[in-house]
Amino acid sequence: MDLIIKDKIKQVKKGDQAAYEDVVLFFQDKIFQHCYRMLGNKHEAEDIAQEAFIRAYVNIHSYDENRKFSTWLYRIATNLTIDRIRKRKPDYYLDAEVKGTDGLDMYSQLATNERLPEEEVQGMELQNYIQNEMLNLPPKYRSIIMLRYLEEFSLQEISDILDIPLGTVKTRIHRGREALRKKLRHV
Amino acid sequence: MDCNKEVVRLMHHHLDGDLSKEDETKLRMHLEGCKNCQKHFHELKRSITLLKSVDQVQVPANFTQQVMDKLPTEKKHMKYVR
Protein backbone atom coordinates (compact mmCIF):
# COMPACT_ATOMS: atom_id res chain seq x y z
CA MET A 1 0.00 0.00 0.00
CA ASP A 2 2.84 2.37 0.84
CA LEU A 3 4.13 1.99 -2.69
CA ILE A 4 0.78 2.80 -4.25
CA ILE A 5 0.49 5.90 -2.07
CA LYS A 6 4.02 6.92 -2.98
CA ASP A 7 3.16 6.64 -6.62
CA LYS A 8 -0.03 8.63 -6.23
CA ILE A 9 1.84 11.40 -4.42
CA LYS A 10 4.32 11.59 -7.29
CA GLN A 11 1.43 12.04 -9.71
CA VAL A 12 -0.10 14.73 -7.49
CA LYS A 13 3.23 16.55 -7.39
CA LYS A 14 3.25 16.53 -11.18
CA GLY A 15 -0.09 18.30 -11.14
CA ASP A 16 -2.51 15.39 -11.44
CA GLN A 17 -5.23 16.46 -9.05
CA ALA A 18 -7.38 13.38 -9.69
CA ALA A 19 -4.65 11.15 -8.25
CA TYR A 20 -5.21 12.85 -4.91
CA GLU A 21 -8.67 11.34 -4.65
CA ASP A 22 -7.22 7.90 -3.94
CA VAL A 23 -4.94 9.36 -1.29
CA VAL A 24 -7.88 10.96 0.48
CA LEU A 25 -9.95 7.79 0.18
CA PHE A 26 -7.18 5.73 1.68
CA PHE A 27 -6.61 8.00 4.71
CA GLN A 28 -10.06 9.49 5.29
CA ASP A 29 -11.13 7.05 8.02
CA LYS A 30 -7.94 7.35 9.98
CA ILE A 31 -7.67 11.10 9.80
CA PHE A 32 -11.34 11.70 10.57
CA GLN A 33 -11.10 9.31 13.52
CA HIS A 34 -8.04 11.09 14.83
CA CYS A 35 -9.69 14.50 14.57
CA TYR A 36 -12.84 13.23 16.21
CA ARG A 37 -10.94 11.83 19.16
CA MET A 38 -8.99 15.01 19.58
CA LEU A 39 -12.04 17.27 19.32
CA GLY A 40 -14.95 15.16 20.54
CA ASN A 41 -17.34 16.68 18.02
CA LYS A 42 -18.24 15.23 14.64
CA HIS A 43 -18.85 18.50 12.82
CA GLU A 44 -15.61 20.00 14.01
CA ALA A 45 -13.80 16.79 13.21
CA GLU A 46 -15.15 16.78 9.65
CA ASP A 47 -14.19 20.40 9.21
CA ILE A 48 -10.66 19.94 10.48
CA ALA A 49 -10.08 16.63 8.69
CA GLN A 50 -11.08 18.26 5.39
CA GLU A 51 -8.82 21.19 6.13
CA ALA A 52 -5.94 18.77 6.81
CA PHE A 53 -6.32 17.12 3.41
CA ILE A 54 -6.60 20.47 1.66
CA ARG A 55 -3.47 21.79 3.40
CA ALA A 56 -1.59 18.63 2.55
CA TYR A 57 -2.55 19.08 -1.09
CA VAL A 58 -1.65 22.76 -1.22
CA ASN A 59 1.70 22.10 0.45
CA ILE A 60 2.47 18.84 -1.29
CA HIS A 61 5.73 20.23 -2.68
CA SER A 62 7.12 20.64 0.81
CA TYR A 63 6.50 16.97 1.58
CA ASP A 64 9.76 15.03 1.61
CA GLU A 65 9.23 11.73 -0.20
CA ASN A 66 11.86 9.97 1.86
CA ARG A 67 9.59 10.18 4.87
CA LYS A 68 6.31 8.44 5.43
CA PHE A 69 3.37 10.32 3.99
CA SER A 70 1.09 9.20 6.83
CA THR A 71 3.42 10.78 9.40
CA TRP A 72 3.34 14.07 7.54
CA LEU A 73 -0.43 13.99 7.15
CA TYR A 74 -0.99 13.19 10.83
CA ARG A 75 1.25 16.08 11.77
CA ILE A 76 -0.87 18.51 9.76
CA ALA A 77 -4.09 17.08 11.22
CA THR A 78 -2.80 17.12 14.81
CA ASN A 79 -1.59 20.71 14.58
CA LEU A 80 -4.93 21.80 13.19
CA THR A 81 -6.86 20.09 15.99
CA ILE A 82 -4.65 21.68 18.63
CA ASP A 83 -5.12 25.11 17.03
CA ARG A 84 -8.86 24.56 17.06
CA ILE A 85 -8.85 23.56 20.72
CA ARG A 86 -6.89 26.71 21.58
CA LYS A 87 -9.40 28.88 19.80
CA ARG A 88 -12.34 27.62 21.80
CA LYS A 89 -13.08 30.72 23.82
CA PRO A 90 -15.42 29.68 26.65
CA ASP A 91 -13.03 27.13 28.10
CA TYR A 92 -10.08 29.35 27.63
CA TYR A 93 -9.15 29.91 31.24
CA LEU A 94 -9.58 26.25 32.15
CA ASP A 95 -7.37 25.31 29.21
CA ALA A 96 -4.59 27.56 30.34
CA GLU A 97 -1.49 25.74 31.45
CA VAL A 98 -0.79 25.75 35.14
CA LYS A 99 2.72 27.04 35.77
CA GLY A 100 5.35 24.38 36.34
CA THR A 101 3.17 21.43 35.40
CA ASP A 102 4.41 20.89 31.84
CA GLY A 103 1.09 21.29 30.14
CA LEU A 104 -1.40 20.31 32.78
CA ASP A 105 -4.35 22.68 32.65
CA MET A 106 -7.02 23.57 35.13
CA TYR A 107 -9.14 20.58 34.14
CA SER A 108 -6.50 18.26 35.45
CA GLN A 109 -6.61 20.11 38.75
CA LEU A 110 -10.26 19.30 39.27
CA ALA A 111 -11.07 16.09 41.02
CA THR A 112 -12.84 13.73 38.61
CA ASN A 113 -15.57 13.01 41.08
CA GLU A 114 -16.58 16.63 41.26
CA ARG A 115 -17.53 16.64 37.63
CA LEU A 116 -19.02 13.18 37.42
CA PRO A 117 -20.43 11.59 40.54
CA GLU A 118 -20.35 7.84 40.44
CA GLU A 119 -24.11 7.48 40.11
CA GLU A 120 -23.92 9.51 36.95
CA VAL A 121 -21.15 7.34 35.60
CA GLN A 122 -23.30 4.26 36.02
CA GLY A 123 -26.12 5.87 34.09
CA MET A 124 -23.82 6.74 31.26
CA GLU A 125 -22.65 4.43 28.59
CA LEU A 126 -19.14 3.26 29.34
CA GLN A 127 -17.98 4.21 25.88
CA ASN A 128 -19.17 7.79 26.26
CA TYR A 129 -17.61 7.98 29.64
CA ILE A 130 -14.21 6.86 28.40
CA GLN A 131 -14.40 9.22 25.42
CA ASN A 132 -15.25 12.03 27.81
CA GLU A 133 -12.39 11.36 30.14
CA MET A 134 -10.05 11.19 27.20
CA LEU A 135 -11.24 14.62 26.10
CA ASN A 136 -10.43 15.92 29.55
CA LEU A 137 -6.77 15.08 29.11
CA PRO A 138 -4.68 18.09 28.12
CA PRO A 139 -4.30 18.04 24.29
CA LYS A 140 -0.59 17.40 24.31
CA TYR A 141 -1.06 14.22 26.32
CA ARG A 142 -4.24 13.28 24.51
CA SER A 143 -2.62 13.36 21.09
CA ILE A 144 0.21 11.07 22.19
CA ILE A 145 -2.02 8.59 23.99
CA MET A 146 -4.27 8.33 20.94
CA LEU A 147 -1.49 8.02 18.43
CA ARG A 148 0.03 5.27 20.54
CA TYR A 149 -2.98 3.22 21.60
CA LEU A 150 -5.68 3.92 19.06
CA GLU A 151 -3.62 4.49 15.96
CA GLU A 152 -0.79 2.23 17.06
CA PHE A 153 2.18 4.30 16.05
CA SER A 154 5.53 3.57 17.63
CA LEU A 155 7.03 6.11 20.01
CA GLN A 156 9.60 6.99 17.34
CA GLU A 157 6.87 7.60 14.76
CA ILE A 158 5.02 9.78 17.27
CA SER A 159 8.19 11.77 17.77
CA ASP A 160 8.32 12.31 13.98
CA ILE A 161 4.64 13.23 13.75
CA LEU A 162 4.73 15.76 16.56
CA ASP A 163 8.25 16.90 15.82
CA ILE A 164 9.35 16.58 19.43
CA PRO A 165 12.27 14.57 20.87
CA LEU A 166 11.70 10.90 21.70
CA GLY A 167 12.50 11.61 25.36
CA THR A 168 9.69 14.16 25.50
CA VAL A 169 7.27 11.66 23.93
CA LYS A 170 8.20 9.19 26.66
CA THR A 171 7.76 11.68 29.48
CA ARG A 172 4.40 12.74 28.11
CA ILE A 173 3.13 9.23 27.53
CA HIS A 174 4.03 8.35 31.14
CA ARG A 175 2.16 11.38 32.45
CA GLY A 176 -0.72 10.79 30.08
CA ARG A 177 -1.10 7.19 31.24
CA GLU A 178 -1.03 8.27 34.89
CA ALA A 179 -3.67 10.92 34.24
CA LEU A 180 -5.81 8.38 32.42
CA ARG A 181 -5.38 5.84 35.20
CA LYS A 182 -6.69 8.35 37.72
CA LYS A 183 -9.67 9.14 35.54
CA LEU A 184 -10.59 5.54 34.77
CA ARG A 185 -9.69 3.57 37.87
CA HIS A 186 -13.14 3.78 39.44
CA VAL A 187 -14.90 2.60 36.26
CA MET B 1 12.67 0.28 46.37
CA ASP B 2 10.72 3.51 46.62
CA CYS B 3 7.18 2.52 45.70
CA ASN B 4 6.10 5.99 44.71
CA LYS B 5 8.67 6.85 42.14
CA GLU B 6 11.10 4.15 41.16
CA VAL B 7 8.56 1.37 40.72
CA VAL B 8 6.13 3.54 38.80
CA ARG B 9 8.98 4.60 36.52
CA LEU B 10 9.76 0.93 35.86
CA MET B 11 6.10 0.21 35.14
CA HIS B 12 6.07 2.86 32.44
CA HIS B 13 9.29 1.64 30.91
CA HIS B 14 7.78 -1.81 30.87
CA LEU B 15 4.69 -0.50 29.06
CA ASP B 16 6.92 1.18 26.49
CA GLY B 17 8.82 -2.03 26.00
CA ASP B 18 12.16 -0.62 26.99
CA LEU B 19 12.96 -2.25 30.27
CA SER B 20 16.21 -4.17 30.67
CA LYS B 21 16.03 -7.82 31.76
CA GLU B 22 17.52 -6.80 35.09
CA ASP B 23 14.91 -4.12 35.73
CA GLU B 24 12.15 -6.43 34.52
CA THR B 25 13.12 -8.89 37.27
CA LYS B 26 13.34 -6.04 39.78
CA LEU B 27 9.82 -4.93 38.88
CA ARG B 28 8.38 -8.44 38.97
CA MET B 29 9.94 -9.19 42.35
CA HIS B 30 8.62 -5.97 43.80
CA LEU B 31 5.13 -6.51 42.44
CA GLU B 32 4.96 -9.96 43.98
CA GLY B 33 5.36 -8.48 47.43
CA CYS B 34 3.59 -5.13 47.14
CA LYS B 35 -0.20 -4.95 46.92
CA ASN B 36 -0.29 -1.20 46.29
CA CYS B 37 2.03 -1.36 43.33
CA GLN B 38 0.19 -4.39 41.97
CA LYS B 39 -2.98 -2.34 42.05
CA HIS B 40 -1.30 0.63 40.40
CA PHE B 41 0.11 -1.55 37.63
CA HIS B 42 -3.22 -3.25 37.09
CA GLU B 43 -4.99 0.10 36.85
CA LEU B 44 -2.53 1.34 34.27
CA LYS B 45 -2.98 -1.69 32.05
CA ARG B 46 -6.71 -1.64 32.50
CA SER B 47 -7.04 2.00 31.52
CA ILE B 48 -5.25 1.20 28.25
CA THR B 49 -7.63 -1.72 27.62
CA LEU B 50 -10.62 0.52 28.32
CA LEU B 51 -9.27 3.16 26.01
CA LYS B 52 -8.88 0.66 23.21
CA SER B 53 -12.47 -0.49 23.63
CA VAL B 54 -13.83 2.83 22.37
CA ASP B 55 -15.82 2.42 19.17
CA GLN B 56 -14.80 3.87 15.85
CA VAL B 57 -16.98 6.60 14.41
CA GLN B 58 -18.08 6.47 10.81
CA VAL B 59 -16.50 8.95 8.44
CA PRO B 60 -19.23 11.19 6.94
CA ALA B 61 -20.57 10.14 3.54
CA ASN B 62 -19.03 11.94 0.57
CA PHE B 63 -16.07 13.02 2.64
CA THR B 64 -13.56 12.47 -0.15
CA GLN B 65 -15.77 14.14 -2.73
CA GLN B 66 -16.13 17.19 -0.54
CA VAL B 67 -12.38 17.47 -0.15
CA MET B 68 -11.91 17.13 -3.90
CA ASP B 69 -14.50 19.85 -4.53
CA LYS B 70 -12.69 22.24 -2.22
CA LEU B 71 -9.23 21.81 -3.69
CA PRO B 72 -7.88 24.85 -5.47
CA THR B 73 -8.13 24.47 -9.24
CA GLU B 74 -5.07 23.14 -10.97
CA LYS B 75 -2.61 25.77 -11.95
CA LYS B 76 -2.22 26.07 -15.68
CA HIS B 77 1.55 25.72 -15.76
CA MET B 78 1.29 22.42 -13.92
CA LYS B 79 -0.13 20.83 -17.02
CA TYR B 80 3.14 21.27 -18.85
CA VAL B 81 5.19 19.62 -16.16
CA ARG B 82 6.08 16.13 -17.30
DSSP labels for A124-182?
A: S-HHHHHHHHHHTS-HHHHHHHHHHHTS---HHHHHHHHT--HHHHHHHHHHHHHHHHH
Cα three-residue angle A115-A121-A126, rounded to 5 degrees: 125
Minimal C-alpha gap between B9 and chain A (Å) = 8
Nearest to A21 by CA among B29, B71, B19, B61: B71
How many A×B Cβ pairs under 8 Å? Answer: 102
A21 touches chain B (CB under 8 A): yes
- pLDDT exceeds 70 at position A68: yes
Mean pLDDT of A86-112: 59
Minimal C-alpha gap between A90 and chain B (Å) = 26
Mean pLDDT across chain A: 86
Minimal C-alpha gap between A92 and chain B (Å) = 26
Nearest chain B residue (CA) to A27: B64
- Reported as a single tens digit per residue, the pLDDT across B35-65 is 999 999 999 999 999 999 888 889 999 999 9
Upper half-sphere CA count for residue B54 (Cβ side, 13 Å): 23
Mean pLDDT of A48-74: 95
